[in-house]
Amino acid sequence: MNKNNQKITIQNLILHYSDGTESLQDISLDIPAHAITVIFGPAGGGKSSLLRVLNRLNDLVDVVKLEGEVYLDDLDVLSPKTDVIALRRRVGMVFARPVVLPMSIQENITYGLEIAGIKDDQRLEDSLEKAALWEEVKDRLDDPAVTLSGGQQQRLCLARVLALEPEVILLDEPTSGLDPISTGKVEESLQALKEDYTIVLVPHSVQQAARTADYAAFFLQGKLIEYAPGNLLFTNPQDQRTQDYVEGRFG
C-alpha cells in the first residue's frame, strides 16, 4: 500500500475494559484514504471498540488500559491535549441501530451544523442527496424524524454525519436492521462517497464485507488476524482462521 495515502495510522493499540476484557490486543493497522476499509469478524472481536477509539467515544466508557498510538493524518488522536469535539467533526460515526434524535427530519441535520457554527443552507439538501434520501423526504422535512422507516432513518443518520463534511466516516453495522433494498441503497451511497471520504465499515455479514471491501481486516477475539486488499482476502486468505470464517465454517 502507498504510504502517502494513509489517512489513519494505528500502532500497537491495546484496549482493556474495567471488567478485565482485553478487547484489543496489540493492533497495528493503516487505513487508506478514499477507500472502504472493512473491519469484520465474529461477535466480540473488538470491531466496535476499535471504531469507538477512532473518534474517542470510548472516553465515556470504563476503559482501564489504552496504549499505543492512533494518528489521523498528523493529529495524535489519543493525546489528552487533542480537542475531542473538533476530532469528532472530522471523524463522523453511524451506529448499528439508527439513532434519530427526537426532533424533525430537518433538525436532525441542522442540529450538527448549528453546534458546529456552520451556516450553510445548501448542506441540508446536499447531505440528504448524498445519502440517497432527498427524494423521499423533501416534502416532509418538518415531520418528526421517528416517523421515517428504519431504512430511511439509517440514511438520515448518514446524512447527519455527511452534513458536517467529515474526513472519515465510521459505520458500525449500519445495515444490520435493514431490508435488502435499503441495504443496497446504503451500500450504493457508500460506493459513491468513497471518492471524497475515508470510510471504515463494520459490515453485518461476510457477504457485505466481500461486496464492499477495498481493504479488509479480519478481527478475532481482540486480535487482527489478517489485513489485505478485499479482492485478495476474500479469494485467497493467508490464514486458516480467516479462511474458515470467510467460508462460513464458524460464526
Ligand X SMILES: Nc1ncnc2c1ncn2[C@@H]1O[C@H](COP(=O)(O)OP(=O)(O)OP(=O)(O)O)[C@@H](O)[C@H]1O
Contact call for residue 118 and another protein (CB under 8 A)? no
CA quadruple 98, 57, 43, 202: dihedral sign? positive
Of 94, 93, 96, 99, nearest to 178 by C-alpha is: 96
Footprint (CB under 8 A) of another protein, residues 65-94: 85-86, 88-89, 92-93
Interface residue with ligand X, options 6, 9, 14, 17 (CB under 6 A): 17
Nearer to Mg ion, 15 or 137 (CB): 15
Query: Judged by CB under 6 A, which stretch of 14-22, 26-34, 79-87, 143-151 contacts ligand X?
Result: 14-22
Residue 238 corresponds to which cell in the numbers above? 493467508
Count of positions (residues) in the chain: 251
CB-CB neighbours of 111 under 10 Å:
15
Footprint (CB under 5 A) of Mg ion, residues 158-177: none
Contact call for residue 147 and another protein (CB under 8 A)? yes
Footprint (CB under 5 A) of Mg ion, residues 31-50: 48
Which partner from the list Mg ion, another protein, ligand X, none does 155 bind, CB cut-off 5 to 8 Å by kind?
none
Nearer to Mg ion, 41 or 112 (CB): 41
Strand order in the sheet with 22-32: 22-32, 6-17, 63-72, 75-76
Which partner from the list Mg ion, ligand X, another protein, none does 66 bind, CB cut-off 5 to 8 Å by kind?
none
CB-CB neighbours of 218 under 10 Å:
27
Contact call for residue 115 and another protein (CB under 8 A)? yes
Nearer to another protein, 109 or 224 (CB): 109
DSSP state of 104: B
What DSSP string describes 71-95? EETTEETT-TTS-HHHHHHHEEEE-
Residues 33-72, one symbol each (x = binds ligand X by CB under 6 A, - = not), give ----------xxxxxxx-----------xx----------
Which partner from the list another protein, ligand X, Mg ion, none does 21 bind, CB cut-off 5 to 8 Å by kind?
ligand X
Distance CA 78, CA 80 (A): 6
Contacts with Mg ion by CB under 5 A lie at 48
